[in-house]
Amino acid sequence: MSVTAMEQAHPSVPKARRHGAREAAIAALAVSPAVILLAGLLFGPALAVVLFSLTDWQLGGASFNFIGLANFQALFADALFWKALGNTALYVVLVVPGTVLLGLLVALLIEASPGLRGFYRAVHFLPVMSTMSAMAIVWGTMLHPTIGLVNRLLGVFGIAGLNWLRDEHTALLALALIGIWQGFGFAMVLFVSGLKAVPQQLYDAAAVDGCDGPFARLRLVTLPMLGPVTMFVVILTASRAFEVFDSVRVLTQGGPNYASEVLLTRLYAESFDYLRTGYGAALTVVYLAIVVALTLTQARFLERRVHYA
């Protein structure tokens, strides 16, 4: 219907209001695909999980009862849950700074190198492209106590190797190193693009102002200008570290003695090994709450210290 046709059809409605309503309708239509997808793929399932967490349903069971917050009570009383939560936190605390610093360092080195930048970028990005479960098997072999490359290399220097993945003290550390190895390439690519966006005139101004050493330049220009990228990398790395699963599942299954049990392996075991879907859903709700809270606080905290030029 054209505008004039509408005017004729509703002569009493003021033109401006009709125009506003029409615009609102078009706007609603335009955002509807995104809304439908978000509702179907994100909010719907999340709501379903919240509902499941209030029941005693078991996977494949014919019936279930609402049991209120009993699942959560059981969860918070479970020492294993706290162990997994602690391990996950430690994993995140190791992986995030490791990934960000290594990514930044490699990005700075690549940008400073005179040639072969594309080659170095591709090489360091390869782990990001690889499938974690397959790479985990490779790492499993490398970390093997007798035939593994790592212990053999250490042996060359006369250092006695450890049974990395079977030792309570090193299992989580080894997994964290694998996590850093897998993720730093992504951070590196983001930092490289951030470095390219730093205006040359700022470096020139710094040189005229007396800051021409590599560290002075880094502190005065490069790091502040990388603020927005760093914020993005930290949030992304943290949320990815929180969902660590495949490497743990393939290499240690959470062992030895739950030394590398993390939230998602716990979730998987409860939901799919023991089929306690309601309990698993409660764990998922806690996990989601932590990730959302973490992301929001990080964004708010970091935003204050980030300067968009």
Partner 1 sequence: MATITLDGIRKHYGETEILKGVSLDIRDGEFLTLVGPSGCGKSTLLRILAGLEEQDAGDVSIDGRSVNGTRPKERDIAMVFQSYALYPHLCVFDNIALPLRTRRLSFAQRLPLLGPLVPGRRVIEAGIRAEVEQAAAMLDVTHLLARKPGQLSGGQRQRVALGRAMVRHPAVFLMDEPLSNLDAKLRVQMRAEITALHRRLGVTFVYVTHDQSEAMTMSDRVAVMMHGELLQVAPPEELYRDPQDLRVAEMIGSPKINVLPAAYWHGQGLPLPHCVPASATHVAFRPEASRLGPPADGQLLGTVANIENLGSDLFLHVVLRDGPVQPAVVRLSPEAPRFAIGDAVSLWLDAGRLLAFDGAGRRSATYEQVAA
Locate 138 and state its tokens: 């490779």
Q: How far is the CB of 307 from partner 1 (least distance, A)?
A: 4
Closest by CA to 174, choosing from 136, 201, 146, is 136
User: Which residues, 6 or more positions from 86, have their beta carbon under 8 angstroms from its beta carbon?
Assistant: none
Q: How far is the CB of 114 from partner 1 (least distance, A)?
A: 15
Instruction: Give 115 or 210: the residue with its C-beta nearer to partner 1.
Output: 210
Backbone angles phi, psi at 206, to 5 degrees: -65, -40
Block residue for tokens 């615009």: 23
Q: At what angle do helices 44-52 and 277-305 cross, to 10 degrees?
A: 130
Q: How far is the CB of 38 from partner 1 (least distance, A)?
A: 33
Q: Side chain identity at 219, as an amino acid letter? A: R
Instruction: Give 221 or 282: the residue with its C-beta nearer to partner 1.
Output: 221
Integer Cα distance of 59 and 279 in angstroms: 11
The answer to whether 99 and 240 are in contact (CB under 8 A) is no
Closest by CA to 242, choosing from 215, 259, 265, 224, is 265
Instruction: Give 34 or 307: the residue with its C-beta nearer to partner 1.
Output: 307
The answer to whether 182 and 132 are in contact (CB under 8 A) is yes
Q: Side chain identity at 169, as an amino acid letter? A: H
Residues in binding contact with partner 1, number by CB under 8 A: 20
- According to CB under 8 A, which one of 196, 300, 304, 307 is a site residue for partner 1? 307
Closest by CA to 101, choosing from 226, 206, 203, is 226
* Residues of span 192-251 touching partner 1 by CB under 8 A: 199, 201-202, 204-205, 207-212, 216, 220-221, 224-225, 227
Instruction: Give 300 or 304: the residue with its C-beta nearer to partner 1.
Output: 304
Asked if the bond preceding 199 is cis, omega within 30° of 0, the reply is: no
Instruction: Give 154 or 211: the residue with its C-beta nearer to partner 1.
Output: 211
Residue 267 engages partner 1 in binding (rule: CB under 8 A): no
Block residue for tokens 């930044």: 104
Instruction: Give 221 or 259: the residue with its C-beta nearer to partner 1.
Output: 221
Instruction: Give 97 or 199: the residue with its C-beta nearer to partner 1.
Output: 199
Q: How far is the CB of 214 from partner 1 (least distance, A)?
A: 13
Which residues are at the interface with partner 1 (CB under 8 A)? Answer: 199, 201-202, 204-205, 207-212, 216, 220-221, 224-225, 227, 307-309
